[in-house]
Amino acid sequence: MNGFNRKVLTLDEFTIQGLRDFPQATGELSGLLRDMGLAAKRVNVEVNKAGLVDILGNANKINVQGEDVMKLDEFANKQFMGALQHGISCAGIGSEELDDFVAFDDEVSMNSKYVCLFDPLDGSGNIDVNVSIGTIFSVFRRVSPKGTPVILEDFIQKGRRQVAAGYIVYGSSTMLVYATRRGVNGFTLDPSIGEFCLSHPQLQCPDDGRIYSVNHGHFFRYDEKVRDYINICQNKNAANGGPYTQRYIGSMVSDVHRNLIKGGIFMYPGTSDRPGGKLRLMYESNPFAFIVEVAGGIATDGVQPILDIQPTELHQRTPMFIGSRKMMEELESIIGSTK
């Protein structure tokens, strides 16, 4: 015995095993997830070196080896876009880093059935201070015919129509979590073999929790009812389901990941100066709403489920409230249908 645990499935093994239940499946979704996993591993290597940037060179500068240094979010964007373009599953992408979507024009890509939207490096303001950051992605089946270049309508579909969604958190360990309608599964990168290994099978969001996550700095710019709810969170005690604890990393991937595992609520409401909030519907809110709903939680914009919003543009923003079912129900009883 070499001590290697062969009971642990790698991401590829897991998705390929899943295909056995669907004899008609083409394996394209497994391929897309493998491509995302590959790009994530490349990004992970660079994220781990982020602290060396002053030694190796800053963005737009030449490093000591005389190479051009790219900003980490641009680098991540290139990796995810490149992996998907070279794969066999994705006909085009939309990214936070790019103003417009990209239609892949090679024959194989044009004949693929999926499009992918992603935020290549979310929370990138946290890179300089060694705080966890992440990648978020959303997968739709295209609505335009295969064999033609993808169009805007392939991307701006309701979140409810997502085929899969996932995120990667580059944290104290690196994890890839993805959801399909069949469940949410989490994989931790084993650096010794360079593979994502199934570590969190069939993740369920606890029905209730004690963590609330919100930027208190904006408190006086939130709607009165949102402020009422935050006050309730602060006043929880043993008699009314508390006490609650406040946790806000400022990196949505890490904040929602933690709440998904431990139970909690994450809020990014609209403010008086930014009524639409900050988060982007297509590649930040939708994927998390899908993941958390599959895991048994709830996600709304304060009025309707995030997944029911009809998008009109690639980069639109939305207020967001997401988390454990009971905490979300209490929030809804306070804010009613007011954004």
Binding site for ligand AHM (CB under 6 A): 119, 122-125, 215, 250-252, 268, 278
What sign has the CA pseudo-torsion 146, 148, 153, 156?
A: positive
Phi, psi at residue 290, to the nearest 5°?
A: -65, -50
* Cα–Cα distance for residue pair 282/315, rounded to 1 Å: 7
* Contact by Cβ (8 Å): 278, 317: yes
Q: Which is nearer to Mg ion, 11 or 260 (CB)?
A: 260
How many angstroms separate the Cα of 119 from the Cα of each of 137, 140, 181, 197, 320? 7, 15, 22, 23, 16
CB of 121 to Mg ion, least distance (A): 8
Number of C-beta neighbours around residue 44 at 10 A: 19
Q: Which is nearer to Mg ion, 139 or 233 (CB)?
A: 139
CB of 124 to ligand AHM, least distance (A): 5
Residue nearest to ligand AHM (CB): 252
Is residue 19 classed as helix, strand or coil in its secondary structure? helix
Q: Which is nearer to ligand AHM, 86 or 221 (CB)?
A: 221
* Contact by Cβ (8 Å): 92, 103: yes
73 interacts with Mg ion by CB under 5 A:
no
Q: Which is nearer to ligand AHM, 68 or 128 (CB)?
A: 128
Q: Which is nearer to ligand AHM, 63 or 215 (CB)?
A: 215
Binding site partner of 250, from Mg ion, ligand AHM, none, Cβ cut-off 5-8 A by kind = ligand AHM
154 interacts with Mg ion by CB under 5 A:
no
Q: Write out the binding residues for Mg ion, residues 259-318 only, by CB under 5 A.
A: none
CB of 181 to ligand AHM, least distance (A): 26
255 interacts with Mg ion by CB under 5 A:
no
Closest CA to 132 of 145, 141, 123: 123
Binding site partner of 124, from ligand AHM, Mg ion, none, Cβ cut-off 5-8 A by kind = ligand AHM
Q: Indicate the residue type of 114.
A: Y
97 interacts with Mg ion by CB under 5 A:
no
Q: Which is nearer to ligand AHM, 77 or 112 (CB)?
A: 77
* Cα–Cα distance for residue pair 96/120, rounded to 1 Å: 7
Q: Which is nearer to Mg ion, 171 or 209 (CB)?
A: 171
Q: 324 is written with which tokens?
A: 């454990």
CB of 315 to Mg ion, least distance (A): 11
Binding site partner of 150, from Mg ion, ligand AHM, none, Cβ cut-off 5-8 A by kind = none
* Contact by Cβ (8 Å): 210, 243: yes
CB of 258 to ligand AHM, least distance (A): 12
* Cα–Cα distance for residue pair 335/78, rounded to 1 Å: 41
- Whether the bond between 243 and the residue before it is cis, its omega within 30 degrees of 0, is yes
Residue from 28, 35, 73, 119 in contact with Mg ion (CB under 5 A): 119
Q: Which is nearer to ligand AHM, 215 or 245 (CB)?
A: 215
Binding site partner of 245, from Mg ion, ligand AHM, none, Cβ cut-off 5-8 A by kind = none
Binding site partner of 251, from ligand AHM, Mg ion, none, Cβ cut-off 5-8 A by kind = ligand AHM
What sign has the CA pseudo-torsion 4, 7, 11, 15?
A: positive
Residue nearest to Mg ion (CB): 122
CB of 284 to Mg ion, least distance (A): 5
Q: Indicate the residue type of 211.
A: I
CB of 129 to Mg ion, least distance (A): 17
Helices 325-335 and 224-234 pack at an angle, to 10 degrees, of 130
188, containing H or E segment: strand 183-190
Name residue, tokens 């995810």. 80
Chain positions contacting Mg ion, by CB under 5 A: 119, 122
